[in-house]
Amino acid sequence: MIIIPARLASTRFPQKVLADIGGLPMVVRTAKRVAHLDKVVVAADDEQIISICKEHGVEAMLTSTTHKSGTDRINECANILNLADDEIVINVQADEPFIESGVVEALQKRLNILKEQKEPFVMASCYNAINAEAALDPNLVKVVLDAAHNAIYFSRSPIPYNRSGEANYFGHIGIYGFDKKSLQEFCSLEDAPLEDIEKLEQLRAIYHQKKISMVKVASTGFGIDTEEDLKRAIEIFL
């Protein structure tokens, strides 16, 4: 199942999930982008989002306005839907209208492998290779990995520090996967200082020594973090 958390009062870019991209609100375009892959539900914090989603034939559900992260929001949605503990839940961000099918499918495949092998994890996610210039963008989150392709750390800063001149940079793609049980486990963890400092919810898992399994993918999609990103997205649909 795919659940898309959608918050109207975004701090950096208010109401961006309703921004028009080629004739469709952003959250609707994102939902339709992945609708052929699995059942999709938008978990929203405002009736305005619910109404617009329904106008476009997208299932949506009202959730609390007090959630700290999108993952906390999808956990409430999963509980309302009474999903089974072993149900796979994919969190696709509402501001990812260019997310590729292959990225979602790669994550679903990794989750099924982890499930079959009974590997301990709290979430899985995706990354791709980026260049040194892209690594400088604070809106593009970077990740460093261990030998088993688990995340060591995520940051808005360029990591690792390139003292040797031979660093490879990896960009985090805004998609997460869980089974229902691990989703609840993540949301039961106490808030982490690192999460608040970087404003990255996945650092809650790292802080509490939980594994985040990472999948390398090829992706040219991009999230909408700024007005400039929105202008770029609109130009694509012109």
pLDDT per residue over 207-219, tens digit each?
A: 999 999 999 998 8
The string of pLDDT tens digits covering residues 160-201 is: 999 888 899 999 998 999 999 999 999 999 999 999 999 999
Quick one: pLDDT at residue 138?
Answer: 92
Is 104 in contact with 93 (CB distance < 8 Å)? no
Is 208 in contact with 192 (CB distance < 8 Å)? yes
Question: Strands (DSSP E) along 11-115, which ranges?
Answer: 20-21, 24-25, 40-44, 60-62, 88-92
Distance separating alpha carbons of residues 8 and 11, to the nearest angstrom: 9
φ, ψ of residue 122 to 5 degrees: the values are -110, -25
Model confidence at 63: pLDDT above 90: yes
Distance separating alpha carbons of residues 165 and 20, to the nearest angstrom: 42
| Tokens of residue 9, six digits | 């009062």
In this prediction, residues 63-88 reach a mean pLDDT of 93
Distance separating alpha carbons of residues 113 and 153, to the nearest angstrom: 23
The dihedral built from the CA positions of residue 71, 73, 75 and 77, taken in this order, carries a sign that is negative
In this prediction, residues 19-45 reach a mean pLDDT of 94
Distance separating alpha carbons of residues 74 and 90, to the nearest angstrom: 9
Model confidence at 2: pLDDT above 80: yes
Distance separating alpha carbons of residues 88 and 181, to the nearest angstrom: 9
Distance separating alpha carbons of residues 28 and 4, to the nearest angstrom: 10
Quick one: pLDDT at residue 12?
Answer: 66
Asked if CATH classification 3.90.550.10 holds for the domain at 2-236, the reply, yes or no, is yes
Kind of pairing between the strands at 20-21 and 24-25: antiparallel
Confidence band of 238 (pLDDT split at 50, 70, 90):
low
